[in-house]
Structure 1
Amino acid sequence: MFAVPSFVWATGNTFGARSTVSPSLVKLARDGVPWFLTVLLVTGFLKLFGALLGIGLTRPRGSRISPLMVFCSGGAATLLTWHGGLFIVHGALVKAGAVAVEPDLAGLTDWYLYLWGPWFIVGGLAFAGATALYVRQRDERRRLRLYGAVGALGALFLSVASTATGIG
Structure 2
Amino acid sequence: MIAIMSGRRETASSPARWPGFASAVWGFAFAVPSFYWAMGGLAGAESTIAPSLVDLARERNPGFLAVLWVTGVLKVVGGMLGLALVRRRAWGRGMNRLLQLSAWGAVVLLVWHGALFIGQGLLVQTHVIGIDPELRPISRWYTYLWGPWFVAGGVTFMFAARAHLSEVADRRPAMTAGLVGGLGALALSATAVITGIG
The structure having more radius of gyration, on CA atoms, is 2
Verify: 1:9 aligned to 2:37, yes or no: yes
The normalised TM-score by structure 2 is 0.80
Counterparts of 2:132 and 2:195, CA distance in 1: 21
Q: How far, CA to CA, are the matches of 1:27 and 1:159 in structure 2?
A: 26
Which residue does the alignment assign to 1:144?
174
Alignment deviations for residues 66-101 of structure 1 (CA, whole Å, 9 cap, x no partner): 111111101111111111111111111111111112
Q: Pick from 41, 45, 49 the counterpart of residue 21 of structure 1.
A: 49
Distance 1:163 1:34 in 2: 25
Kindly provide the amino acid, as one letter, of the partner of residue 84 in structure 2: G
**In structure 2, what is the Cα distance between the partners aligned to 1:100 and 1:2?**
30
Q: Paired residue for 1:94, among 119, 124, 129?
A: 124
Runs of 4+ in 1 over 3 A off after TM superposition: none
Following TM superposition, by how much is the alpha carbon of 1:162 offset from its aligned partner in structure 2, in angstroms?
2.4
How many Å apart are 1:4 and its aligned residue?
1.0
Q: Is the 8 A contact 1:9 1:29 kept in 2?
A: yes
**Cα distance in 2 for residues equivalent to 1:165 and 1:35:** 20
66, 73, 81: which one pairs with 1:38? 66
- Aligned-residue sequence identity (percent) comes to 48
Aligned partner letter, 1:13: G
Q: Judge conservation of contact 1:12–1:31 (CA < 8 Å) in 2.
A: no
What residue identity is the alignment partner of 1:47? Answer: K
Q: Of Structure 1 and Structure 2, which has the larger fraction of its residues in strand?
A: 2
Q: Report the alpha carbon displacement of residue 114 of structure 1 after superposing the two structures with TM.
A: 1.4
Equivalent residues in 2 for 1:1-168, closer than 5 Å:
1-60=29-88, 61-168=91-198
- Unmatched runs of 5 consecutive residues or more in structure 1: none
Contact 1:23–1:104 at 8 Å: present in 2 too?
no
Q: Could you tell me how far 1:146 is from its partner in structure 2?
A: 1.2
Letter of the structure 1 residue corresponding to residue 43 of structure 2: F
Compute the displacement of 1:64 (Å).
Answer: 2.7
Gaps spanning 5+ residues in structure 2: where?
A: 1-28
Supply the AA of the counterpart residue of 1:110. Answer: R
